[in-house]
Chain A
Amino acid sequence: MMRKDMTLTVNGSRHALAVEPHLSLLDLLREKLDLTGTKKGCNAGDCGACTVLLNGAPVNSCLILAVQADGQDITTIEGVAGEGELHPLQEAFIDHGAVQCGYCTPGVVLSAIALLRDTPQPTRSQIQEALSGNLCRCTGYFQIIDAIDAVARRQSEDSSRNLEKIP
């Protein structure tokens, strides 16, 4: 089968690969790069378990061909914090009991990261909307929303504190 040469940057590392033209970005991440934190829940764009950030925007990686990501920048759950560190959202998920089986968690965390970057102080209904593409069958979403809300509030407190410091 014809393979196509491509490059992409994943979690800050540049990869040069030759891939089958029909390979999905999800399968590339999981099978070629062993980044198995990105989950396959339906392979049809319905569940959001495979959410990654493509140039910062959340996408279902099962719906994108790997070759479409040629030259682009990808962030997966493995890349949201430094080795041995946790992103504030990951910490909040642990604190608030937002994790049960954990299968939706990577995708949900990435959707939440994108939300807080674009909308640092979301309302609860904006949080709900941002999560609407990520199915979770365990939690009923409440503790997930609480966790995201808590991080947003803390960030807004921190930024107002920073403002106060400006002479």
Chain B
Amino acid sequence: MSDLSIIGKGVHRVDARGKVTGHTRYASDMRLPGMHYGKIVFSSHPRARLLEIDCRAAESMPGVKKVITARDLPGSNRYGYGVAHRPVLVAVGEETRYVGDAVAMIVAESEELASLAASAVVVRYEVLAPLTSPREAMQAGAYRVHQEAEGNRCCQREFACGDVDAGFRNVDVVVEQTYVTPRQEQAFLETEAGVAYEDDAGVLHVMSCLQDPYGVAEDIHLALAIPKSLIHVKGTPVGGGFGGKLNTTIQVHLAAMACLAKVPVMLELDREESFDFHAKRHPVEIRLRLGAGRDGTIHALDGEVIADVGPYSGRSAEVVGLAMSALLGPYRIANVRTRADGIYTNNLDSGAFRGFGAPQAAIARECLLDKLARTLEMDPLQLRQKNFLRPGDRPASPMLGESPVSIELLTQRVLALLGPKPAAPENSTKRIGRSICFDMPVFDVGEIPVLGKAGVGAAVQVHSDGGVTVYAGGTELGQGIATVVAQVAAEQFGLPMEQIRVEMSDSWICPRAGRTSASRLTFGLGNAVLEATARLRETLLAQAAKLLEVAAEHLTFEDSRICLVGQPQKGLAFAEVAEVCSDRGGNLREEGWFRGTGDRYMYGHTFMAAAADVEVDIATGEMQILKLVNVLDMGKMLNPVMAYGQLYGGAIQAMGYGLMENMVTVDGRSKTPSFAQYMIPTAMDLPLQFVAEAVETPYPTGPFGAKGIGEAALNCTTPTLFNAIADALGVEVTEMPVGQEQILAAIHKQDVQ
């Protein structure tokens, strides 16, 4: 398909103009007539029994419209993905499970009054000892965060192939290590926010930043017993999500406020509330063991993942499952046994964050591979190459397996881009290290088990003036899906981008498309829009064929015209055909559905390589990334400018994860409640040089060959940095994140010269 005119081009984002001019209205920028402000009273303790809530002082304050506690709520007061066991408000007599649990809500005339009233709510607690260690939580007799969860187990996954015990018996070398990864915060710049109101017809409208409008509608129905047909959820432009807005966040609380106070309500979390409230990247402990022959062939892998789920299930089962299956990476290993447990605690909540468990797994796998290489005294790249999946191989872990194995090609590209290894200045305390790591990132291509319903739908409407509207239920988080969807429609109709409008993230007007996660929308929505536009093309071609008195198969869509192939002058304007179709009652609105394979294999996969040259000063522990290289097989870049944006952004998030980010908790409370304590990379922290490159091996069932690539860059960049530092020092730094302090400690402890 070399004659594509819009697909594969770095066309401007459809939402860019509004964003650079400040005109885009995010959730907290919305203003409604009569709008009041909400405030949530959060639990003062990670774990405590609620003895009494006294709202009298708050209720008597001027400007306070409503004070809400659990007994005011209609419905079950329970919601949540996975297991619907999260209370909207903890009731008197119940226990809180983390500091993000809500105990009361205020609706007042101003934000300031709402805050004042919130601090006037008097809550009496019986403070209880929080359970903060997953290992302790697994012990028999431990207090249960949820009564029904034995051993505080939220989820468990197992995978095995071959005979792992026999595999380990027949190897020359066994290496083993336990890796403990930090809790990473999504750190989106826009905190959770939204507005809600009930209209005269009794319909509840909730407009909020989110990643799954359908899941939010379901949760509001579950918790508040509002009929589903009376709930309209509209996603607002999202100021960053990265998985942190995938669970329902504040929307159920907001809905309850609007319904009970009978006024439009705005609710916006402040930064500290936001950090405490939403689910973050699971801190995990991974014990991994590899057995290999002297030639470097890996014969056996045994892995165990224990993940700190925090108080509620959310997406943990899927995240923990991927953390387990991603331990295999892009390698062929005959004998495998892996197991993962997600364990409830009273720590901050854990859930989805770009990579979905795979970044943790990649750290353990790639760092242990380097350790194996050191043990075997073998070049770490050669060790990996010896064990790569080979063309025609299917991954052992459950994948669809449609992706051509392009990993050797990535290796060649990464080596070419890296160039010769730089030398450290002579007689200095500086040491140079290099590493190359690999990964097999996945993206959702199959049956999507979202609340029992599968499929990704999109509707496309051709208007009588030739304009096109695409209704796509996914959510634009900044990743660029609205632009991709518009590009697909524009390409299909031979129209310029300006003719296409995209309506997204609306539980009422968009066909069901499920959640925006797992790098699934370019693939799913792209295919859905292809199907819908293909039907419309048939309708328009048939009409044009009649008007032109030629056979439809001789016609094509080009330059806003429907014309004879190769003869653009012989044809009609697209708009003219659309108008005739419309006047004659033709159907110019079609739905397309991508329903996946219907089997249990949810993920497709691709391949990624990352490399780094670093310079470490052994006198000070200071580290500088001299060069970072990312090469990703994207299948086909639908928009290279945006695709590279995903690679750049993902790599720097991975760098933050590895070198500086950790949401530290002590006794269930955050010790890093602001951006002053929880540091993310700034423009000053970038590698001296960063080279990203796309390789394009088309994915057979992807739209134009595209794969999902939003998460991929994060996975193996982090271990690449760790391994490069270890290469420079000659010893591993095992405490993460690896900052100057940790490097210096490792240098002193292990007497690096």
Q: Is A53 an interface residue (CB 8 A)?
A: no
From A138-146, A149-157, A158-166, give the one contacting chain B: A138-146
CB-based contact A100/B686 at 8 Å: no
Q: Cβ of B676: which chain A residues have Cβ within 8 Å of it? A: 44, 46
CB-based contact A99/B20 at 8 Å: yes
Q: If the complex has contacts A97-B641, A102-B478, are A137 and B683 also in contact, measured as CB distance less than 8 A?
A: no
Q: Is A76 an interface residue (CB 8 A)?
A: yes
Q: If the complex has contacts A39-B239, A141-B652, A143-B648, are A135 and B680 also in contact, measured as CB distance less than 8 A?
A: yes
A122: min CB distance to chain B, Å: 12
Please, how many angstroms separate the alpha-carbon atoms of A77 and B391 in the complex?
A: 52
Q: Is A109 an interface residue (CB 8 A)?
A: yes
CB-based contact B23/A41 at 8 Å: no
How many residues of chain B have a CB within 8 Å of chain A? 56
Please, how many angstroms separate the alpha-carbon atoms of A120 and B18 in the complex?
A: 26
Please, how many angstroms separate the alpha-carbon atoms of A33 and B238 in the complex?
A: 23
Q: If the complex has contacts A43-B271, A102-B24, A103-B240, are A141 and B19 also in contact, measured as CB distance less than 8 A?
A: no
Q: Is A121 an interface residue (CB 8 A)?
A: no
Q: Cβ of A41: which chain B residues have Cβ within 8 Å of it? A: 189-191, 271
A124: min CB distance to chain B, Å: 9
Give per-residue flags for A41-61: 1 if the beta carbon is below 8 A from chain B beta carbons, else 0: 111101101000000000000
Q: Is B28 an interface residue (CB 8 A)?
A: yes
B265: min CB distance to chain A, Å: 16
Which chain A residue has the least Cβ–Cβ distance from B112? A20
A79: min CB distance to chain B, Å: 9
Q: If the complex has contacts A39-B239, A138-B240, are A81 and B680 also in contact, measured as CB distance less than 8 A?
A: no
CB-based contact B21/A102 at 8 Å: no
Q: Is B26 an interface residue (CB 8 A)?
A: yes
CB-based contact A128/B686 at 8 Å: yes
Which chain A residue has the least Cβ–Cβ distance from B24? A102
Q: Cβ of A44: which chain B residues have Cβ within 8 Å of it? A: 271, 674-676
CB-based contact A99/B19 at 8 Å: yes
Q: If the complex has contacts A102-B478, A137-B653, A138-B240, are A42 and B21 also in contact, measured as CB distance less than 8 A?
A: no
> Which B23-60 residues have a C-beta within 8 angstroms of A?
23-26, 28-29, 31
Please, how many angstroms separate the alpha-carbon atoms of A36 and B639 in the complex?
A: 30
CB-based contact B15/A102 at 8 Å: yes
> Which B109-136 residues have a C-beta within 8 angstroms of A?
none
Please, how many angstroms separate the alpha-carbon atoms of A106 and B25 in the complex?
A: 13
CB-based contact A97/B239 at 8 Å: no
Please, how many angstroms separate the alpha-carbon atoms of A164 and B189 in the complex?
A: 45
CB-based contact B22/A36 at 8 Å: yes
CB-based contact B13/A42 at 8 Å: no
Which chain B residue has the least Cβ–Cβ distance from A1? B112
CB-based contact B21/A78 at 8 Å: yes
Residue of A94, A97, A127, A132 touching B682 (CB-CB under 8 A)? A132
Please, how many angstroms separate the alpha-carbon atoms of A87 and B18 in the complex?
A: 13
CB-based contact A103/B189 at 8 Å: yes
Which chain B residue has the least Cβ–Cβ distance from A79? B22
Q: Is A2 an interface residue (CB 8 A)?
A: no
Which chain B residue has the least Cβ–Cβ distance from A104? B189
A109: min CB distance to chain B, Å: 6
Q: Cβ of B479: which chain A residues have Cβ within 8 Å of it? A: 100
CB-based contact B31/A39 at 8 Å: no
Q: Is B201 an interface residue (CB 8 A)?
A: no
Q: Is A86 an interface residue (CB 8 A)?
A: yes
Q: Cβ of A47: which chain B residues have Cβ within 8 Å of it? A: 189, 675
Please, how many angstroms separate the alpha-carbon atoms of A101 and B244 in the complex?
A: 14
Give per-residue flags for B419-445: 1 if the beta carbon is below 8 A from chain A beta carbons, else 0: 000000000000000000000000000
Residue of A97, A103, A129, A137 touching B645 (CB-CB under 8 A)? A97
> Which A48-91 residues have a C-beta within 8 angstroms of B?
49, 76-78, 81, 86, 90
Q: Is B61 an interface residue (CB 8 A)?
A: no
The 6 tightest CB contacts between A and B, nearest first, are A37-B22, A101-B478, A102-B19, A103-B239, A140-B652, A46-B675
What residues of chain A have their CB less than 8 Å away from a CB belonging to chain B?
A: 30, 34-44, 46-47, 49, 76-78, 81, 86, 90, 93-97, 99-106, 109, 127-129, 131-145
Query: What would 7 A/B residue contacts be, using CB atoms closer than 8 Å?
Result: A41-B189, A41-B271, A77-B21, A94-B12, A128-B684, A137-B187, A141-B682
